[in-house]
Amino acid sequence: MDFKSFDDSLTAEQPPEGLNSALLGLWWQAKGDWARAHQAAQSDTGEDAAWVHAYLHRVEGDESNAGYWYRRAGRPHCSDPLRQEWRNIAGALTDGP
């Protein structure tokens, strides 16, 4: 899925079929459902899901837990505005914004 299609899908009530756990987590977070987003990210042990998991803990305000997940993802701890980080992750996991 390309970034535009992913971003455009946020107008729907349900996520598109076939999203991996990381993108599903980003999708639910963009829809304002942190719990579903966290559940999706937590269901996968891969680095992409760990990156989303880190972002979600930043959203939650738990920087310490976020740091753990950034390390698991092999990524530096991000301090960008949350919306920008969401776009950066979504862009990296699709074809870019």
Confidence band of 52 (pLDDT split at 50, 70, 90): very high
- Tell me whether residue 10 is in a domain: no
Model confidence pLDDT, tens digit, residues 12-51: 999 999 999 999 999 999 999 999 999 999 999 999 999 9
- Number of structural domains the chain divides into: 1
In a domain, 93, yes or no: yes
Residue 17 within any structural domain of the chain: no
Q: Is the CB of residue 91 less than 8 Å from the CB of residue 97?
A: yes
- Average pLDDT for the chain: 96
> Does residue 7 lie within any of the structural domains?
no
